[in-house]
Amino acid sequence: MSHDDTVRDRYKAIVLARRVRALVFGVGLVVLAVLFYYALISVGFFEANIPTYLPNFLNALRDFFPFLAPTFPFIDPTGVVAYWTFITEQNLIWGGFGGDTPLLGEAGITLAMGFAGTVMGFPLALLFGVLGSGRVTPFPFNFIFRGLMSSIRAIPALVWGLIYIPIATDTVGNLGRLFTDELEEIEDGPIEAMETTGANKPQLITFGMLSQVTTPFIAWTLYIFEINVRIAVSLGIIGGGGLGQVLSVQQGLFRFTNMMATILVILVLIISVEIVSQRIRSALREGDEAQGLVALLLGFPQRMAEAALK
């Protein structure tokens, strides 16, 4: 076979491969479009008659942002005052002293739920995390604890919330698995050195293993605390108390201005917790860069959705 024939054969093979890829891509698009169409049918999208709801939606937006109506694009100060009035009347930020008013306020209750869940779940998370490591518990017995943590993580917090307030349980599954993964990556040198001195198993675990992961354990605990505060908001929507419950009540009353005021307090609370937590973690862990405020704001909806499904 001549050089020209070889070149032509290679060219034909390349053209054929491109055509096959284009055909597969086209078929994939068609399948995706069909699945998307049937997904819309399944959720009743075409029966919703969305154009008839558009005026109601626009009215709701004006209620959410009263400072933009009817003077848009100018700012109406009375709209901002409406936010602040609801925040202070409902004690969303600070409860104050005396009377029947709770000291913490609704934001404090939400923060307390996240903190209490983290503290209550930490001991079991540490226990399961250590026992789930193959360095501590031999195979296959370590998978008993791994399986327990996986089972806990497999059920979203909102589902647990239908039974009881589950933040501590969720912490065991999430934090325990992170602890296990960290223990799997530790160095063997300190452990082997302690074994040569006749150290027993508890000493090996405490001084040979846990001493190597103190910093990442603290960092992961702070990270789970961030998640737990977001989960506390989600649980409040189904009756757990705090800001989530206030948001749910105002939604039921169609008080959209009050809803937006509550959402603003939620945003400030969660962003504040995340900034403090990430600054501490960035100081503890080299290479862990703290996110800026803009990145935290843009990622807020996604993080809230992820927290509700954890």
For every residue of 141-192, DSSP letters joined together read THHHHHHHHHHHHHS-HHHHHTTS--HHHHHHHHHHHHHHHHHHTS-SHHHH
Q: Is 51 or 151 the better-scoring residue by pLDDT?
A: 151
- What pLDDT does 69 receive? 58
Residue 76 pLDDT > 90: no
- What pLDDT does 238 receive? 80
Residue 279 pLDDT > 70: yes
User: Which residue type sits at 257?
Assistant: T
Do 178 and 220 form a contact (C-beta atoms < 8 A)? Answer: yes
Residue 255 pLDDT > 80: yes
Q: Exposed, middle or buried by CB within 10 Å (0-12, 13-18, 19+), for 249?
A: middle
Task: Give the least confident one: 23-27, 246-250, 286-290.
Answer: 286-290
- What pLDDT does 27 receive? 93
Residue 153 pLDDT > 50: yes
Average pLDDT over residues 187-208: 84
pTM of the predicted protein model: 0.74
Residue 226 pLDDT > 80: yes
Residue 291 pLDDT > 70: no
Q: Is 240 or 147 the better-scoring residue by pLDDT?
A: 147
Do 239 and 221 form a contact (C-beta atoms < 8 A)? Answer: no
Do 226 and 274 form a contact (C-beta atoms < 8 A)? Answer: yes
